[in-house]
Structure 1
């Protein structure tokens, strides 16, 4: 039966996405290419004995003390010893290990803990007469801490030997940093196999509001811990998530180390392997997000679990609906435009106007169509210059009445009726400047799920051509989050901010104008949000055609040079919302 199921699935993929995609996923599964690539990557990251020696002898200008907090509960002896040894083998020496044994008075851990505490003075243990829940247990361990920074660790996991050393390096370069998190992977029960690396972005506020991507390893300044307060039992199962959210409300001096410095033990019953085994934890996670929104003053917010356990969806309920001006450039192709307009008309958001910017149409039917649709909600304005996407949209804004601008390609078709509300809900937040949508090609593969600067050379769409039913790397396709840019094929921008940054730069006539706009909005301190729950089809630049003439190629080269000159720093340093360990030649978050 399993074979029949696999055959049916293969046939389904062939019918949906074609032979090439079927071959790609089959080759990956059969030969386990990515698993083998990570195995090589991990081996390259291991320290040599000389490197360990050099790190252990290195004297930093600033030598903070780390308090490693570990709540214990009937930990299997081999896992307990593995955890203890990984701490004792740290190349940076100024640490203390603060252990709280919540197993109760007949704890099976007493012998091993006594042995290690005796031979290593930096190990502190508090034993508890009664069994403790995870929050109580963690708080007991925190009470032992005397360090400058607290490191949070689970009782059966492992630290890389250079975990603390890498943190000290950061703190010496950036002493203002209050929170550090790192990349991580999974480790087998015998500790020999490393797999499923989680390469994370730099601080991503809306991603954190959607999933606890910080997870491990987490390091927090003791002063921030004191301000944030203790772990709370009412969030057990997601007590660390609740704690992290509270910490980020105090400081945004947060640093991500793009190295695998933590190894999460994967075994039966662990949420690392079977997330459904702890459903209560995921409901606690939703409650933690709701409480976070309440504390920061965001009202009328609904949070629910998605089909991918551990990933949550936020919906901002809008009662006072602002006017949204939808700006659609158009040249002929009235069949596309009709489809676009009809899909907008079916939306459940009523406070909008549509401004069609006519640019150089030549077909009589086009102008006849314009006459038939103009009314109190739809108007057509006429651009008489050459094709310049930026100038055309800026021209359309001049006729807009709304406080929110929705730039929309004429070859798009709305899928979900609440798409305007999905975009506006995020865009109305004071810290957000622009919001983009999830777009599909006509064959139901991803056309847009966020833009990464540097991808493909200048900027590219991550997860391009991924089948619609796939969730992508760590469910990023279906996760609300921040990106450096989103496509202007469908993007909502606050009008005030759009005008403040000077609108689209008309030097970018066709290419990179949306990326440039988003980066300038970010420079002003606003976030760019990708909301996958605003969904549309995008039939992709049918109006303009391909970049296949000498003039178009020359223009693209000129705009590429301008972009590189203006945004050379981010191209050199790497997009903060894309991990540096990912290849810039692939759109699917694969290792370099």
Structure 2
């Protein structure tokens, strides 16, 4: 049975106050079960006071002496006792009652940060107990904030976008409609209408109830349609009644946070060209508590083709809906997804925006299907797959979908064609890494099925006999060019020099400590690099044991971080991030494909970054030019990581790496703090995704604080 946050908070306060520590998971579950079975806070306090650990800590005498009182205050309230409070506790009949007085006080309750106490090292977003504790800490709206929002709406908004929310009801559970309506009535931003579509065969009692709701609540519009009309026709009828500048689809039981429409309105006012705006979401469990959050990523067209990763709440520009032909008959249960693909086609990415705020809560009755399935990828919904394939036939006849089996599940892969076979120049820096280079080149020549490539080896001063012999042998192969470059190691300079000599239309920068694992890797990367607007393509790299070395990078206040490094081969990552082709801010230069015109436009790699950060800096410059950086899991290589230049373990290398990271942070400070592909409710290390403390997304009614700038500086000190 799930532990309620109230029970967990009570138990944590009792343990912290009486024992000076947090409860272990088994103890938390045990005492929570007692509370669920009818035990009281007082009962649990006396059980703890009778435990061997408690007696060993405080002695066997069951009296509240000054030492015990001081302990309770120090651990429960983080202060010394005041005279009045101390006198009251000294008069308590026993230690259990004293524990109840302190741990149950309003002061102790207000000081209980359940998330920090239970999860001092952080927790992943999939942990529902952690998520509930995190919500207690960060998802609050004070009366002062409500007043600030009201003032902003009345005095600070230069325009007032209007919303038409559309919803279908049937002969089932009008109480769910009431829940949705109640959340709309609670909206601080009031420029909305709810269009309720219902069939003409509603049962009399349901019809009467519905009419009462509509009469009672301002802003509700009812539209009666034929019961023979399909789901798409009902949505068309709703859209015909919509007058708002933006439209959204709801289903009974869905709830919006009080600030949802206000925050959407603020985003629309600041981005007048938006055609689609979406936020994060969670679920409402049968107990009414929120669970299963979906912290989404910024817009990525490849992800959108893989499935409905946008989810709810999504608002569409009504003008854009009409411009693409409105709602069609073929969508079925995936009408909204079909519309999403058409609305976002041929529009700049800047016209699609993600609000990393938890503003939507899905709710439904047990046993009733969701009108709009949860955020997930295509493979779990054949009908959704049909929507994508139809969209491809109409707009991209050269694209296709195929199934990929990962971790026991089927995942969608977007198959892009190659436009011819442009020459790819594969550039490999090396020095005295005989075994690594021989393996790398051998696997390139024997396993790569892409027919048109050359290999350029930049030898940075090798001296060992076996390496020199290998370079001579490789130089006799017409597909290879060996260039001896005797200079201090500078990864950027080596690659720039070889790029100038390369003949290829595309440049692949490859470390010598890599090995090709499957034949289609280069075809996959070339096909992506040929897509309009793509500036860089990165690959999935794995360690020799098969675990993940590189799944793309995200930017943080502490610098670039690899995504879920050391994840197992069958781990799909959070919301499929390790199994779906997607946009990112940066990929590693250990295997990076760049169209030559893009490389030359960027001026190559920045040679002032000789060791590290050069690849990230290049990718960020590409992104600044509004070009895409794409990572694909369908080009997989082995990467030993560190083999090319050796591990950066010397004091000098570590110092130089820190200097480079510091310069990168200074140059790209705003980007580091605002990576759209790292949800602001999550924080990343190289090995984990955790709930962010605090969330980074600014609340629009607050002036943005400057502590992130300071945090970045502290990280470098």
What's the TM-score once normalised by structure 2's chain length?
0.74
Residues 82-91 or 430-439, more deviating: 82-91
Structure whose CA Rg is larger: 2
Give the alignment of 1:57-76 within 5 angstroms: 58-59=153-154, 60-76=157-173
CA 1:565/1:274 → structure 2, altered by over 3 Å: closer, same or farther? closer
After superposition, the C-alpha distances for 1:230-263 in whole angstroms (9 at most, x for unaligned) are 2223232322111111111253312221111111
Aligned to 1:382: 484
Give 1:318 shift. 2.4
- The yes-or-no answer on 1:39 pairing with 2:141 is no
Q: Which runs of 5+ in 1 are unaligned?
A: 1-25
Aligned to 1:206: 302
Query: How far apart, CA to CA, are the structure 2 residues paired with 1:258 and 1:584?
Result: 15
Residues 575-584 or 98-107, more deviating: 98-107
Give 1:106 shift. 4.3
Aligned to 2:382: 283
Give 1:446 shift. 0.9
Give the alignment of 1:320-339 within 5 angstroms: 320-339=420-439
Aligned to 1:520: 621
Residues 63-72 or 267-276, more deviating: 267-276
- The yes-or-no answer on 1:127 pairing with 2:224 is yes
- The yes-or-no answer on 1:221 pairing with 2:317 is yes
Aligned to 1:554: 655
Aligned to 1:153: 250
CA 1:513/1:272 → structure 2, altered by over 3 Å: closer, same or farther? farther
Give the alignment of 1:91-490 within 5 angstroms: 91-102=188-199, 104-106=201-203, 109-190=206-287, 192-249=288-345, 251-252=347-348, 253-265=351-363, 267-268=366-367, 270=369, 282-296=381-395, 298-307=396-405, 312-318=412-418, 320-344=420-444, 345-373=446-474, 374-454=476-556, 457-490=558-591
Residues 502-511 or 330-339, more deviating: 330-339
Q: What RMSD over aligned residues (CA atoms) do the two structures have, in Å?
A: 3.0
Q: Secondary structure of the equivalent of 1:328?
A: strand
Query: How far apart, CA to CA, are the structure 2 residues paired with 1:114 and 1:215?
Result: 30
After superposition, the C-alpha distances for 1:387-439 in whole angstroms (9 at most, x for unaligned) are 01111111221221110111111111112210001101110112101110111
- The yes-or-no answer on 1:591 pairing with 2:685 is no
Kept after mapping to 1: 8 A contact 2:581/2:632: yes
Q: Which has the higher contact order (CA 8 A, sep 6+)?
A: 1
CA 1:561/1:276 → structure 2, altered by over 3 Å: closer, same or farther? closer
Aligned to 2:43: none
Kept after mapping to 2: 8 A contact 1:282/1:310: no
Query: How far apart, CA to CA, are the structure 2 residues paired with 1:294 and 1:391?
Result: 45
Q: Which runs of 5+ in 2 are unaligned?
A: 1-25, 31-117, 693-717
After superposition, the C-alpha distances for 1:185-235 in whole angstroms (9 at most, x for unaligned) are 111135x12111111122223222222221100112221121122222323
Query: How far apart, CA to CA, are the structure 1 residues paired with 2:147 and 2:209?
Result: 28
After superposition, the C-alpha distances for 1:526-579 in whole angstroms (9 at most, x for unaligned) are 1000110111111111232222223212322331232123212212x4211111
CA 1:441/1:270 → structure 2, altered by over 3 Å: closer, same or farther? farther
Q: Secondary structure of the equivalent of 1:143?
A: helix
Query: How far apart, CA to CA, are the structure 2 residues paired with 1:331 and 1:108?
Result: 82
CA 1:537/1:299 → structure 2, altered by over 3 Å: closer, same or farther? same
Query: How far apart, CA to CA, are the structure 1 residues paired with 2:412 and 2:168?
Result: 27
CA 1:40/1:495 → structure 2, altered by over 3 Å: closer, same or farther? same
Query: How far apart, CA to CA, are the structure 1 residues paired with 2:283 and 2:676?
Result: 24
Give 1:287 shift. 3.3
Query: How far apart, CA to CA, are the structure 2 residues paired with 1:359 and 1:180?
Result: 50
Q: Secondary structure of the equivalent of 1:118?
A: helix
After superposition, the C-alpha distances for 1:281-324 in whole angstroms (9 at most, x for unaligned) are 8233233333444555x442211355587953101122621111
Kept after mapping to 1: 8 A contact 2:379/2:385: no
Residues 279-288 or 167-176, more deviating: 279-288
